[in-house]
Structure 1
Amino acid sequence: MSNNDLEKQIQELNTKIAELALIVSLKTKEMDTIEQRYTDRIRILNEYLATVRAGLNIESQEGHIDDTTFIDKLRSMSHNDDIKDYVLVPTKPLQMNSMKNPKNETKTKTESEVAQNTQHKKAYNIAVNEPTYNRKKKISCSYCNEKGHKRSQCPKILYHEA
């Protein structure tokens, strides 16, 4: 390869890196706005619960409920697959720890829970989703007609390839 070709490739890589950096910064801003909306909604719900408790003359319980433990309690309920006609409302304000530590993900279901859930759905003839690796083979892009990705993830659009 000549120096001209090498310089062109380096320039192309630099522009693609700049584009990716721009995309990352835009997504970061978008995530910040989503996080702000989420915290605002939780704050509004906590204020609403406080007014409901005050209106019903319910004594305020001390402390907060950790959001990760609240989610785990909801998942551990015995009838979590049934469709419910009611909503569970916490009696204490919800403290958002998972938003403060984004790397702290909530616990995922164990393999036995997933297998039990799949068997339950099969028993009632509910369509069980295919694993993602099988689905990815069937997905075709509407832009380039290649299989394996969606239009939103098409490299020809993302990297401005002709």
Structure 2
Amino acid sequence: MSNTDLEKQIKELNNKISELALMVSLKTKEMDEIEKNYSKRLNSINDYFSKVRKSLAIEECEGTIKDTEFIDKIQALNVNKEDCIIIPTKIIRIVPFEKNAITSIENSTEKDINVVPFSVSKDPSHSRRKKISCSYCNEKGHKRSQCPKILYNEV
């Protein structure tokens, strides 16, 4: 092996090392961004839980996984025993419901209650379907993936 071959190999190795270093730095920046987003989300969840604790009148504790009173109250809200519960994104204001309204509903008959008949509105997907045109056969009403000429091999 001559010196020129060694120099070429060293240059190639240096180029590869610089490419790898660039890739590592890009990945590091990407990971930093992911970590920032993750910590923002964790902070927003923690803020939400502190608001929930305040609304349920529970004292806030550090390292709160062992907060059984809080967990019991949250699980009490999950009456269907589902694996997950819906967490609202905004503060919920509970409007007090009068007991008189409940008794008046119980005492009323079906004729007393105004029943609004269910009306079917115009299906927005149907009107949209009329506007879609196929890029294969240029007919309106279907997409290329649903084109009968392609599906049924019509030429």
Q: How high is the TM-score relative to the length of structure 1?
A: 0.40
Between the two structures, name the one with larger relative contact order (CA 8 Å, sep ≥ 6). Answer: 1
What TM-score do the two structures reach when normalised by structure 2? 0.42
Task: Determine which structure has more spread, i.e. the larger CA radius of gyration.
Answer: 2
